[in-house]
Amino acid sequence: MPIPILKNQKILITGATSQVARPVVKTLSAENEVFGLARFREAEQRQEIEALGAHTLAVDLADGEMNEVPQDFDYVLHFAVVKTGDFEYDLKANAEGVGFLMSHCRGVKAFLHCSSAGVYHDETDEPLRETDPLGDNHRCMMPTYSICKIAAESVVRMSSRLWNIPSIIARFSVPYGDNGGWPWYHLMMMKAGVPIPVHTQGPCYYNLIHEDDYIGMLPALLANASVPATIMNWGGNTATSIEEWCSYLSELTGLEAQIAPTDGALKSLPIDTTRMIEKVGPTRTDWKDGIRRMVESRNPELLLSKNDQP
């Protein structure tokens, strides 16, 4: 498939209220007819998404009810994820839900399913490739997450073949940006004087990817959708550790990062981005530049004076 031009297209974005999808809604709504799907438990959430220029659809994917959802989308960007800790509900919402969604929107040009590096078995220090073993690596933090993500991938793979839907399963690492993300939560922990847990087998590496990069990559990712579904890692070109980015946050703010090694934290999960770079292209935002921007955007009051910053 040639790289699509995401302009004057009808696009469904699920999980629209999330930290990851919200900037996607904002960017694509400028030149497309965008529908943001979420549970919208609070009225103000719906108003916020509509203020970005998108239509809203209040749908719980666990119910499988798609009566209010149009069927004539050009593209679906599926970012929704449910992680309540209740396996019965979370499997319905994440695995069965994506099946209902793909069945309903089977006429799309391409379907992007945002998966996670959380699907991999974590017993290696090497960057994880798309063909590496899968496992339950998020159990210590989110008990249903890895299993539901693996189950959802299986449903996407089956649905792609069953209904001939060009699909791409993108295994996301750690997204962040002006809208927040894991490094921002660490900054808030530093501000509050709360220890930051890292696994005892550190340093703990992940592939930070800035919102500018993941939004900019969407057309090329959709161009790689296929039947059977394409599977691709999605993250920054190289891995950065929690310890490194917390140290840099300390340099920017003067706040202390209390690193607390424990066996109860996530292990290092670096991903191999070779396939992504070959098929989609490299990321452009240096992680230090992105983190500095994040602090400037969300908490400028925490920054040291320019003379004191690195």
Tens of pLDDT, residues 211-263: 999 999 999 999 999 999 999 999 999 999 999 999 999 999 999 999 999 99
- The residues that bridge with 209 in the sheet, in sequence order, are 175
The torsion region of residue 221 among left (phi > 0), alpha (psi -120 to 50) and beta comes to alpha
Confidence (pLDDT) at 308:
60
pLDDT score recorded for residue 181 = 96
Residues of the chain with pLDDT under 50: none
Task: Report the distance separating Cα 21 and Cα 15, nearest Å.
Answer: 6
Contact in structure between 5 and 219 (CB atoms under 8 Å): yes
Q: What is the pLDDT of residue 307?
A: 52
257-269 tens-digit pLDDT? 999 999 999 999 9
As a whole number of Å, the CA-based R_g of the chain is 19
Convert 242-274 to b/e letters by CB count within 10 Å (16 or more is b).
bbbbbebbeebbebebebeeeeebbbbbbbbbe
Q: Which pLDDT belongs to residue 43? A: 87
* Ramachandran assignment for 82, one of left (phi > 0), alpha (psi -120 to 50 degrees), beta (any other): beta
Find the length of the chain. Answer: 310
pLDDT at 8: 98
- Parse the chain into domains and list their residue ranges: 10-177+208-236
pTM: 0.96
Specify the pLDDT at position 84. 93
**Which of the listed CATH numbers 3.40.50.2300, 3.40.190.10, 2.60.40.10, 3.40.50.720 matches domain 10-177+208-236?**
3.40.50.720
- Closest C-alpha among 155, 128, 145 to residue 232: 128
Q: What pLDDT does 27 receive?
A: 98
167 phi and psi, to 5 degrees?
-135, 150
The pLDDT value recorded for residue 306 is: 61
What pLDDT is attached to residue 2? Answer: 86
